[in-house]
Structure 1
Amino acid sequence: MNIKLQLLFVFFTGIIIAQEDAWVYFTDKPDASYYMNNPLEMLSQRALDRRTNQNIQLDDLDIPISITYINEIENTSGISVLAKSKWLNALHIRGIQTDIQALTNYNFVDHIQFANHTLNPSNRSSNAQRANNTYDKFEVLADFNYGNSNNQIQMLNGHLLHEQDYTGQGKIIAILDAGFPGVNTAQPFQRLFDNNLILGGYNFPDRDTNIYTRHYHGTNVLSTMGGFSDGELVGTAPDAQYYLFITEDSTSENPVEESYWVEALEMADSLGVDIVNSSLGYTNYDNINYSYDYSKRNGEIGFASRGASLAMSKGIVCVVSAGNDGNKQEKHISIPADAENILAVGAVTNTESYASFSSIGTSFDGRVKPDVCAKGQGVTISNPSGNILSNGNGTSFASPILAGMIASFWSAVPNLTASQVIKYVKESADQFSTPDQYKGYGVPDFQLAITNVLSSQNVTLSVISIYPNPFTNVLKIKQNKNVIGKFVLYNNLGMKVLDVNVINDEQDIQLETLSSGIYLYDFSSNNINLQGKLIKQ
């Protein structure tokens, strides 16, 4: 977004001195032992379960930043703290250059990195940590009337997954965007509210929970995944659950938005989110010294890129738009699309041809970018008033279309790890053997991805229904596979309140003794694992 920067100044001895943005990095996390012994103090039960299911160990990245360190920085004269990242053990701060540089006098400060690249030692390297990186026919269960959105789903063979009832159920998607006005009132989003699929969110620029405000870009994005207007628009993951996070400040273009972005990504992780979509990108800031030229788009310099690279190590699939600079002099992918271990998504037309505005690769260090593509020209979307439009253009829409299909795919084979999901998606794409700088590995085929999973792993597809939601006294579990599973229910404090075996294809769970409220469930068997939210009336 091209947005005006409101410069901040301080007056000192009659001279106007511009303030700088910077990140202060700390040496350690002195509270690590406490949090390792009390993991629910830093992560939800669902986040812990996601790690367990993917054999991911808790580590130092999960530990919050020391409150003592934060307080010391906040109490330092001339320094404002704007955001924080536990994964990178850093605070985003603002102040005059000399006050910021003086922070290195604290023995717990490792180093300072200015957003103004000219102020940083040219030989300092990033401390970013990298993550170690025969099909049966089914009865048609979902028969959606896609209307004009038909092409953007069929291009990915997503309709074939929907027909088998793999529509994102049991998966949680976080959207990091600029605002979501109208989502709580417009008709195409009503189905999400009727089925309790909006779990909440947070507005980082305003530091409040008012998420149905600011720029409508996020509303458009959500509609491609969760929107539903029969005969006009069906999203790629209509039965997934969603958290909505505002990280973009549309009144300015400043690196603090990257810090909000990483902060939101970490919050999504702590809430147990499976997939993150962000249709935001950063190249040029209002202060040109903060901007990223192509040489800096190597996955190791951009603050958001470094945060994004860590998502897979926590079991999250991070999907981001490649950017819309394909027709500009500088055509390359933006920050954080250059990150490793994510899916950067480029745009194609309705005939799967490269859309000329879509930013190209490779990353500066030569990795394939974009990773994959989806429809990004002439996309069917909803606006905040609920009007269905078919003129959406941008990788902003290619990315969520792809992210929603990943949720539907993952709901079919939920025991895959995040790294395996990314692997199968790439391998199903039509240019996997011959990637290029325009479309990367190409357009994925999610039916082929399912087939590839079944042919290479001993798994079965999941079709589990847990209903009604909300419920009163009885919860029903229905499955089309003869499996023995375990159903576990947690209250909103993460405490286990129910643990029962499910041995029948249809089974009633008696819950009349439970208090009214919100509960999280976990259903697991040898080849199936589903989590979600239930409401007891």
Structure 2
Amino acid sequence: MKRTLLTFFIFLLPILIFSQEDAWVYFTDKPDASYYLANPLQMLSQKALDRRTNQGIALDNTDVPVSTAYLGQIETSTGITVMAKSKWLNAVHVRGTQTDIQALTALSFVDHIYFANHSLNTLTGPGSTTPVATSRVGEVKDKFEVEVNFSYGNSANQIEMLNGDLLHQQDYTGAGKIIAVLDAGFIGVDTASPFQRLHDNNLILGGYNYPDGNTNFYTRHNHGTNVLSTMGGYVDGQLVGTAPDAEYYLFITEDVNSENPVEESYWVEAAEKADSLGVDVINSSLGYGSYDNPNYTYTYAMRDGQVGFASRGASMAFQKGIVCVVSAGNEGSTSEPHIGIPADAENILTVGAVDSSENYVSFSSIGNTADNRVKPDVCAKGLSATISSTTGTITTASGTSFSSPILAGMVATFWSALPNLTAAEVIQFVKESADQYATPDIYKGYGVPDFQLALTNALSAQSFQLQEVHLYPNPVADYLWIDPKESNTGNLEIFNQLGQKVLTVKVEGQMVKVPTDDWASGIYFYDFSTNNSKLRGKLIKQ
């Protein structure tokens, strides 16, 4: 009898464990959109608005928060728990039985539902043609196998490999740029000595713990601590991060106690918060491929940047002017060696691992994406990277979890040298500087970047662009003259400080006179686009 009962229990165990399903509920609209778009500081900080304006990115409905009225009705629905929400994707992550979740389609404002369990998506009604699953590939269980003259100690190799020391010597150290770190926890960052310099200079701006729903982010796990140390850590003669003077937000999105797609939703929610705070760079040493519930696992065919919730969130971050840097994953030696979610996202930098001699490391997940885009994009040191422990001991660890932040810190440092570049330009200059740019492969992508070369190329491009058009007078009073050099042809767009377009002019090789007497006083930003380049700048209206 005991054996019979035990067998029966074992048979029921999967049913008991997975009786609750996870799903995303997508809404039809945002009824409060007009209010928020007219009052942008109610949804975005001034830093976020400035970043949009600098890059010529207009505000739109994706910036508007999820409707509180819709959210309230979902929260009070029978058997439903709201786990997370996303304004970019206008959706909430819910947990409940399949029946209770399916009942939400009766609400007039619900557009459609995607279950994390792929097999259920044929049941979700009209519009549910694409499964939205989630899963983890990289996991946090890494394989632990100048003007300024820093004494790098053992961290020298991981910086010099990227020619980051040359940027540091020119006094480019990430100052003025903000990095958000999305990770599993930051134990010891408030007490360990390698992070004291960050505290002394008020470079840790805040953060949030999404799994616990509170502001205690110096908790849960050591992984984020190790990751942060490669960017912002400092111990003279032992460890110097790649962006020691950048500012940081620390977000816990990973719950190491279980593997569930809600972590992807936490990831997107944190990315949205980072955007609203004016962050420039996101580092995520996390990845998703398989969950505790095997029905949620992503197949390789799903790793195309369009299926994963976090992947679509990462691509949205790029549209907001943020450079996302994501670890490729540590599955290169497994039966499913490909990069996962959100490493498959479009318009991000996915980072693989190399050793101290820039050779591919076998654990580093490979590309390409299912739709055959180059992945990883670039590589940095991931074997025996120099890091700090939670107690401040300088040690080494291996994994793409460390190649990613080493690279992310250099992105912020490079961007601090040329702060007016767009996210797209930053990504392109980094790729073009890599040693395999002409012949990318599935192991190292475009290869190891050279940030001094990227800086040289960017400065040369800016010098070229400045010869293409002249706008005067600046400051302007009643009329603005646009003088295209050498008969250049292009489109000139002008935006106000809220990112709203106020003027579009077709320039066709002739001087153009634009009346500005009805413009409000203040700062304006312009884009002049030709077939092969883009010039950006600022105007002051008196």
Report the TM-score when normalising by structure 1: 0.80
Q: 2:131, 2:38 → 1: CA distance?
A: 27
SS in 2 for 1:82: strand
Q: Which residue of 2 aligns with 1:321?
A: 327
Quick check: 1:36 aligned with 2:37?
yes
The Cα of 1:295 is off from its aligned counterpart by 1.0
Partner of 1:279: 285
Q: Note the alpha carbon deviations across 1:325-363, whole angstroms, 9 max, x for none.
A: 011111000110000010100000000000110000000
| Map of 1:456 onto structure 2 | 461
**CA separation in 1, counterparts of 2:71 and 2:202?**
36
**Alpha-carbon spacing, 1:528–1:190, altered in 2? closer, same or farther (3 Å):** farther
Deviations 1:369-412 (A, max 9, x none): 0010000001000000000002x100000000000000100000
CA–CA separation in structure 1 for the residues paired with 2:221 and 2:393:
16
Matches within 5 A, 1:4-43: 18-43=19-44
The Cα of 1:458 is off from its aligned counterpart by 2.6
Q: How does 1:466-505 map to 2 (within 5 A)?
A: none
* Distance change >3 Å, CA 69–CA 449, structure 1 → 2: same
**SS in structure 2 of the partner of residue 112 of structure 1:** strand
Find the residue that maps to 1:206 and give its secondary structure: coil
Paired residue for 1:170?
176
Residue aligning to 2:161: 155
Give the letter aligned to residue 108 of structure 1: F
**Match for 2:99: what amino acid?**
T
CA contact (8 A) 1:26 1:108 kept: yes
CA contact (8 A) 2:115 2:131 kept: no
Letter in 2 for 1:396: S
Runs of 5+ in structure 2 lacking a partner? 1-11, 133-145, 466-473, 476-496, 498-522, 527-534
Q: Which amino acid aligns with 1:221?
A: V
Match of 1:203 in 2: 209
Which amino acid in the other structure matches residue 413 of structure 2? Answer: S
Q: Assess if the C-alpha contact under 8 Å between 2:180 and 2:251 holds in 1.
A: yes
**Residue type at the aligned position of 2:381:** K
- Partner of 1:236, secondary structure, is coil
Aligned partner of 2:152 in structure 1 is 146
Alpha-carbon spacing, 1:21–1:127, altered in 2? closer, same or farther (3 Å): closer
Change (3 A) 1:285 1:60: same
Question: C-alpha separation between the residues in 1 aligned to 2:40 and 2:420?
Answer: 23
Distance 1:433 1:166, change over 3 A: same
Task: Determine which of 219, 233, 237 is the counterpart of 2:239.
Answer: 233
Match of 2:405 in 1: 400
How much has 1:459 moved relative to structure 2?
8.6
Residue identity matched to 2:457: N
Contact 2:374 2:445 in 1 (8 A): yes
Structure 1 residues 146 and 459 mapped into 2: Cα distance closer, same or farther (>3 Å)? farther
Question: Within 2, Cα distance between the matches of 1:80 and 1:60?
Answer: 26
- Paired residue for 1:439? 444
Deviations 1:60-83 (A, max 9, x none): 100101000000000101100000
Q: Deviations over 1:41-94 (max 9, x none)?
A: 000000001000000000110010100000000010110000000000000000
Amino acid at match of 2:42: E
Amino acid at match of 2:324: C
Could you tell me which residue of structure 2 aligns to residue 112 of structure 1?
113
Residue identity in the other structure for 1:66: S
State the distance in 2 between where 1:275 and 1:126 align. 29
Residue equivalent to 2:259 = 253
Partners of 2:326 and 2:351 within 8 A in 1 = yes
Q: Does the 8 Å CA contact 1:459/1:527 hold for their aligned counterparts? A: no
Distance 2:336 2:56 in 1: 41
DSSP-derived class of the 1:18 partner: coil
Structure 2 CA distance, aligned partners of 1:337 and 1:22? 21
Q: Report the counterpart of residue 78 of structure 2 in structure 1.
A: 77
CA contact (8 A) 2:30 2:67 kept: yes
CA–CA distance in 2 between the matches of 1:265 and 1:127?
Answer: 22
d(CA) in 2 for partners of 1:271 and 1:158? 27
Determine if contact 2:114/2:131 at 8 Å carries over to the other structure.
Answer: no
Q: Against the structure 1 CA distance between its residues 91 and 527, is the aligned structure 2 distance closer, same or farther, given a 3 Å change threshold?
A: closer
Alpha-carbon offset, residue 127 of structure 1: 10
Partners of 1:168 and 1:411 within 8 A in 2? yes
What's the counterpart of residue 385 of structure 1?
Answer: 391
Q: Which of 300, 305, 308 is the equivalent residue of 1:302?
A: 308
Closer/same/farther in 2, CA of residues 125 and 422 from structure 1, 3 Å limit: farther
Report the equivalent of 1:6.
Answer: none
1:413 touches 1:528 (CA, 8 Å); kept in 2? no
Partner of 1:52: 53
- What count of residue pairs does the alignment treat as equivalent? 447
- Secondary structure of the corresponding residue to residue 304 of structure 1: helix
1:215 equivalent to 2:216? Answer no
Q: What is residue 344 of structure 2 aligned with on the other side?
A: 338
More deviation, 451-460/55-64: 451-460
Q: Who is 2:99 aligned against?
A: 98
1:209-250 deviation per Cα after TM superposition (whole angstroms, max 9, x unaligned): 001000100000000000000000000000000000000011
CA deviations on 1:185-204 (whole Å, 9 max, x unpaired) are 00000000000000000000
Name the residue aligned to 2:250: 244
| Cα offsets for 1:405-425 (capped at 9, x unmatched) | 001000001110000000000
The letter of the residue matching 2:252 is: I
Structure 2 residue 359 is matched with structure 1 residue 353 = yes
Query: Could you tell me whether the CA contact under 8 Å between 1:413 and 1:459 is conserved in 2?
Result: no
Indicate conservation of the 8 Å contact 2:121/2:131, yes or no: no
- Distance in 2, matches of 1:144 and 1:17, equals 53
1:121: Cα distance to partner?
2.1
CA contact (8 A) 1:17 1:96 kept: no
Using the aligned pairs only, state the percent identity.
69
Aligned with 1:265 (options 252, 259, 271): 271
**Structure 1 residue ranges without an equivalent (≥5):** 1-10, 129-139, 461-483, 486-493, 495-521, 530-537
- How far did residue 145 of structure 1 move? 0.1
Q: Give the alignment's TM-score, normalised by structure 2.
A: 0.80
Contact 1:414 1:528 in 2 (8 A): no
**One-letter amino acid of the counterpart of residue 180, structure 1:** F
Give the letter for the 1:164 counterpart.
Q
CA distance in 2, matches of 1:99, 1:383: 45
Which residue identity is paired with 1:441? Y
Correspondence for 2:517: none
Indicate conservation of the 8 Å contact 2:354/2:382, yes or no. Answer: yes
SS in 2 for 1:81: strand
Distance of aligned partners of 1:48 and 1:126 in 2 relative to their CA distance in 1, 3 Å threshold? farther
1:293 Cα deviation after fit: 1.4
Letter in 2 for 1:159: D
Q: RMSD value over aligned CA atoms?
A: 2.4
Q: Secondary structure at the match of 2:463?
A: coil
Per the alignment, in what secondary structure is the counterpart of residue 289 of structure 1?
A: helix
Partner of 2:470: none
